Amino acid sequence: MHSVAGLGEFELIARYFRRPERALGAGVALGVGDDCALLQPTPGMQWAVSSDMLVSGRHFFPDVDPRTLGHKALAVNLSDLAACGARPLGFTLALALPEANAAWLQPFSEGLFALADAHGCALVGGDTTRGPLNICITVFGEVPPSQALLRSGAQGGDDVYVSGTLGDAALALQCLQGKVHLPPALLTQARQRLEQPTPRVALGLALREVASAVADVSDGLLGDLGHILQQSGVGATLDAGIAMHLLAAGAYSTGASGLFSSQMPVAQLLQCVLAGGDDYELVFTAPPDRAAAVQAAALASDTPVTRIGRIDAAAGLRVVDGRGQPLPGDWKSFDHFA
Amino acid sequence: MHSVAGLGEFELIARYFRRPERALGAGVALGVGDDCALLQPTPGMQWAVSSDMLVSGRHFFPDVDPRTLGHKALAVNLSDLAACGARPLGFTLALALPEANAAWLQPFSEGLFALADAHGCALVGGDTTRGPLNICITVFGEVPPSQALLRSGAQGGDDVYVSGTLGDAALALQCLQGKVHLPPALLTQARQRLEQPTPRVALGLALREVASAVADVSDGLLGDLGHILQQSGVGATLDAGIAMHLLAAGAYSTGASGLFSSQMPVAQLLQCVLAGGDDYELVFTAPPDRAAAVQAAALASDTPVTRIGRIDAAAGLRVVDGRGQPLPGDWKSFDHFA
C-alpha cells in the first residue's frame, strides 16, 4: 500500500469521485465541484433525507476490504430510504482519511459506485479531509406525499414481518472477534451479510400503501421493532421458533459441518437473530387483510418476507416459543452508546 | 466534566437534539426520529445541498469551547449555501463522540441551534456514534432555477469583490499555534473570526442575478478565487494594497499595541489575507456595469463589500502592489491533503 505522494484534496476528488455528467440522474442539475450541488425535485414529491456515519473500529474493522466498505457505507443509507418507501436520487460523501491512499481509494470508490449505479443514486457532492477514518453519507430520495412509510402507523392486530434473513451479520462479527467458531463455509456466507448488506429498496417501494409501519433493522430486530412499537403506542409478540429460521446460516444445520452441529447454544443463535445488528433488512407491519398485498410486494420486489408475529394493543415486546410460552431472556438491542 | 452514565444513543438524541415541532420550518414534514426526515420542496425551486466534515485537531483544537464549535460546524455549511445564493431550510448532523458528555453536548447544541434558529434552518435528522470527535453536517437550501450562483460565470473585465474581512482567522490560528505573538485585544478579535465565522447568507441571496460567479472563502482567498478562475476559464489581478486593508486586526495598526507596531512582517500578514483559510466570506465577480447593484446588495444585506481586483481574459492569478507591479511570493492556498 503506497500513499499518493502530493495528492491534494481537489485532485483526490477529481480522480476518484468525479464522474461523467451522464452518470448523474435526471434530477441532478449540478454535481460535484461547486460550493453546493443543485437538485431539481420532481414536482409534487416529498424529499426523504437520511445520514449515517461509519467509524473505523466501531462499524467496521480497520483492515476491512475497502471495496465492501464502499458498498456498505452507501447500503446502510439506502436502507433508510427503503424503510421510508423512498426512491433513491443522490447522496453526498464526507470522508476523513488518515492518508490519501490510492490502493484504498480505488476499490472503495468502485464498491461505492457499483451500488450507487445499481440504484440510480448519484454522488452529488461532499468533503474530504485528513483524519481518523470516518465515512459520512447523506442520502436523498423522493416519495409521494402521504405515501412515505413511517414507524408510527402500527395498530393492534397487525402482522409483523421481516424481509430476508436475520442474525448472520452478528454471527459473522462474533466469529471475527473470536467469540465463536464457525465452519469456514458458514463464515464466508455470514461475512458477506455483514460486509455487503443488501438494502431493500425495491421492497420499500412495493410496500407503499401496503405496510402500516416500517423500520430498517440496523441495530437489531428487537430494538428497531421497539421504535415502531414506541412510536405507534403498541406492543408485539414474536414467535422465536419462526425467528430461528431467519438465520441464513441455519440452513446449513443439517450438514455435518453445520451450525447446529457446531455446538453453539441455541440461545446464542437466537440472540443473533433477535438482537444482532447490521442486517439492514426491513421489519414492518400490515393489517391481516393486507397479507396478500404483502406477498405481492415480496414477489414484485423479489424479496423473501416472513411473518414473525403480531402487534398487540398492549405495550411491551414478548418473545414466545412455538407453543406460545414466553421465552426468558434479556433482549437488549445494540446501542452505539450503550 | 462528567460523562453521562449510561446515556444511550437514543436518549442522547432526545435530550440534546430533538426539538419541539414548532421549531421546524414550513418545509419540514417530518423531523428527527424516523428512518428518514421528510421535506416538502417549495414548488418550482431547486435544492442546494452541501456537506462539510470537521475533524478534531485538524479543523479545531480538541479543547475549543463546544458552544463556538456548534456554531462553526453549521456556519461553514451555511457559507456554502450563501455562495450558491440559496435560502437555508434544514440540515442533518452526524456526530462521532469519544463519550456522551453532557458538559460538552449542552453548549455544543446551544451554539448549533442559536445559529440554526437565526437562519430558520431546522435540524431534521442525523446520526450519533462513539468515535474520535468528528462533526459532519449536510445542509439543504433552495434557490429558483437559473438563479443559483456558480463558480463558472466569471468573464474578462468583471470586477472581483470580497465580503467582510479576511486573514484574521489565519492570524488567530498562527497565534494559538505559538507561531506569532498578538496583543491580547487583537487575539480576542481575531479568534472570534476563527471560532465563530459569520456565514454571508443574506449577501448571497442579494447577489442572485447580480454576481457572475461566487465562491466562499474557506481554504483561502487565492485558492477559492482559483476555483472560480479555473471553472470560468479566466485569470485575475488582485491589488495587494487593498487586500491588506481587509485584515480587521489591521484597524488596530495605529495604536501603540497595534498589529503593525508588533513587528510582524507585512508579507506574513498579506499571506494571512490572501492564503489563510477559515474566513467564510464570499469572493465574487460582477460586470463593471453592475457595480451599483453590488453596492445595493451589500447595503441590503448589511455586509461590507470591497472591490479587490479584476478578472482577466488570460489565465493566471497575479497579485500586484499599489503601483501595479507584480508582487513576488508563493501564494499557495490551504489544502486539507497537501
DSSP string spanning B140-151?
Answer: EEEE-TT----S
Query: Can you tell me the distance from the alpha carbon of B332 to that of B336, in angstroms, rounded to the nearest whole number?
Result: 12
Specify the 3-state DSSP secondary structure of B280.
coil
In whole angstroms, give the CA distance from residue B333 to residue B336.
10
d(CA B67, CA B56): 15
Contacts of A172 (CB under 8 A, 6+ apart): A182, A187, A190, A191, A193, A194, A195
Instruction: Find out if CATH 3.30.1330.10 is the number for domain B9-143.
Output: yes
Assign A279 to helix, strand or coil: coil
Residues of chain B found within 8 Å of residue A40, distances taken between Cβ atoms: 46-47, 145
Cβ <8 Å between B136 and A94: yes
| A80 assigned ligand-binding residue | yes
Q: Hey, is the C-beta of A84 within 8 angstroms of any chain B C-beta?
A: yes
For A231, the grid coordinates are: 412510536
pLDDT at B2: 36
Out of B80, B128, B134, the one facing A336 most closely (by C-beta) is B128
Q: Which amino acid is at A313?
A: A
> Is A278 marked as a binding-site residue?
yes
Indicate the burial class of A27 (C-beta count within 10 angstroms; 0-12, 13-18, 19 or more): buried
Work out the mean pLDDT of chain B and round it to a whole number: 86
**B232 shares contact with chain A (CB less than 8 Å):** no
- Stretch B185-192: mean pLDDT: 87
* Spatial contact of B103 and A27, defined as CB atoms under 8 Å apart: no
Beta carbons within 10 angstroms of residue B33's beta carbon: 17
* DSSP string of A123-170, one letter each residue: EEEEEEEESS-EEEEEEEEEE-TT----SS---TT-EEEEES--SHHH
Give residue B331's pLDDT: 54
* Option in A6, A10, A96 nearest B53 (CB): A96
* Among candidate residues B12, B195, B10, the one with its CA nearest the CA of residue B99: B12
Helix axes B168-176, B266-275, angle to 10 degrees: 120
In this complex, is the C-beta atom of A37 within 8 Å of any C-beta atom belonging to chain B? yes
Q: What is the phi/psi pair of residue B34, to 5°? A: -115, -175
B98 touches chain A (CB under 8 A): no
What pairs with residue A136 in β-bridges? A53, A94
B58 shares contact with chain A (CB less than 8 Å): yes
The cell for B194 is 476563527
In this prediction, residue B328 has a pLDDT band, given cuts at 50, 70 and 90, of: confident
Q: What's the confidence (pLDDT) of residue B36?
A: 83
Q: Report whether B127 belongs to an annotated binding site.
A: yes
What is the sign, positive or negative, of the torsion defined by CA atoms of A276, A279, A280, A286? negative
Nearest CA in chain B to A86: B36
For chains A and B, CB pairs below 8 A equal 241
Interface test with A, best of B17, B36, B93 (most A CBs within 10 A): B36
Q: B34: pLDDT confidence band, cut at 50, 70 and 90?
A: confident
List the Cα angle B247/B218/B50 in 5-degree steps. 150
Domain boundaries, chain A: 9-143, 159-320
Q: State the fold for domain B159-320.
A: Phosphoribosyl-aminoimidazole Synthetase; Chain A, domain 2 (3.90.650)
Closest approach of B93 to chain A, Cα-based (Å): 8
- How many whole angstroms separate alpha carbon A51 and alpha carbon B11? 18
- Of A47, A94, A127, nearest to B38 by CB-CB distance is A47
* pLDDT tens-place values along chain A, 338 residues long: 333 445 666 677 677 887 766 556 667 777 777 778 888 888 889 999 999 999 998 888 888 999 999 999 999 999 999 999 999 999 999 999 998 888 899 999 999 999 999 999 999 888 888 899 999 999 999 999 889 998 989 999 999 999 998 988 888 888 888 888 888 888 888 899 899 999 999 999 999 999 999 999 988 899 899 999 999 999 999 998 888 878 876 655 544 445 554 566 777 788 888 888 889 999 999 999 999 999 999 999 999 999 999 999 999 888 888 788 888 765 544 444 43
| CA-based end-to-end distance of chain B | 36
Cβ distance A49 to B92 less than 8 Å, yes or no, reads: yes
Cβ within 8 Å of residue A34, ≥6 positions away: B84, B150, B151, B152, B231
Q: Is A159 annotated as a binding residue?
A: no
Place of cell 423512498: A86
Q: CB-based burial of residue A162 (10 Å sphere; 0-12 exposed, 13-18 middle, 19+ buried)? A: buried
Q: Do B48 and A37 touch (CB under 8 A)?
A: yes
Confirm or reject contact between A128 and chain B (CB < 8 A): yes
pLDDT of residue B257: 47
Calculate how close chain A gets to B77, using CA atoms only, in Å.
9
Tally the C-alpha atoms within 13 A of residue A66's C-alpha that lie toward its C-beta.
17
Residue B284 has pLDDT above 80, yes or no: yes
Please report the pLDDT score of residue B135 as a whole number. 97
- Inter-chain residue contact B41 with A38, CB threshold 8 Å: no
Dihedral of the alpha carbons of A62, A66, A71, A74, in degrees to the nearest 10: 60
Q: What percent of chain B has pLDDT over 90?
A: 50
Q: Is the pLDDT of residue B28 over 90?
A: no
C-alpha cell recorded at residue B205 = 441571496
CA A69/CA A105 separation, integer angstroms:
11
Helix segments in chain A, DSSP class H: 9-12, 66-84, 102-118, 168-176, 184-195, 201-206, 221-232, 240-244, 266-275, 291-300
Confidence of residue B50 (pLDDT cuts 50, 70, 90): very high
Interface residue of B30, B78, B136 to substitute, partner A, most A CBs within 10 Å = B136
**B173/A249 Cα distance (integer angstroms):** 55
Asked if A38 lies within 8 A of B143 by C-beta distance, the reply is yes
pLDDT value at residue B113: 95
Residues of A in contact with B80 (CB under 8 A): 35-36
User: Using CB atoms, which residue from A38, A83, A131 is nearest to B58?
Assistant: A131
The confidence score (pLDDT) of residue A329 equals 66
Of A51, A80, A87, A151, which to mutate for an interface test with B (greatest number of B Cβ within 10 Å)?
Answer: A51
Instruction: Say if the Cβ atoms of A81 and B36 lie within 8 Å.
Output: yes
Q: Are the Cβ atoms of B39 and A49 closer than 8 angstroms? A: yes
Same fold, A9-143 and A159-320: no
Give chain B positions within 8 Å (CB) of A231: 33-34
- On whether the CB atoms of residues B134 and A134 are closer than 8 A, the answer is yes
Question: In this structure, what C-alpha cell is assigned to residue B270?
Answer: 498579506
Q: Which residues of B touch A58 (CB under 8 A)?
A: 129-131
CB of B308 less than 8 A from some CB of A: no
Q: Does A121 touch chain B (CB under 8 A)?
A: no
In the prediction, which pLDDT does A26 show?
66
Task: Quick: pLDDT tens for B84-130.
Answer: 999 999 999 999 999 888 889 999 999 999 999 999 999 988 888 88
Q: How far apart are CA A143 and CA B100, in angstroms?
A: 34
Asked if A30 and B143 count as a contact pair (C-beta separation under 8 A), the reply is no
Q: B97, B212, B283, B337: best mutation site toward chain A, by most A Cβ within 10 Å?
A: B337
User: What pLDDT, on a 0 to 100 scale, did the predictor assign at position A337?
Assistant: 41
ipTM above 0.90, yes or no: no
Compute the distance between CA of residue B82 and CA of residue A29 in angstroms, rounded to an integer: 18
Give the distance from residue B31's alpha carbon to the nearest chain A alpha carbon, in angstroms. 10
For B12, the closest of A9, A96, A337 (CB atoms) is A337
% of chain B at pLDDT higher than 70: 87
* Residue B142: burial class (beta carbons within 10 Å; 0-12, 13-18, 19+): buried
* Model confidence band, residue B1 (pLDDT cutoffs 50, 70, 90): very low
Q: Which residues of A touch B43 (CB under 8 A)?
A: 43-44
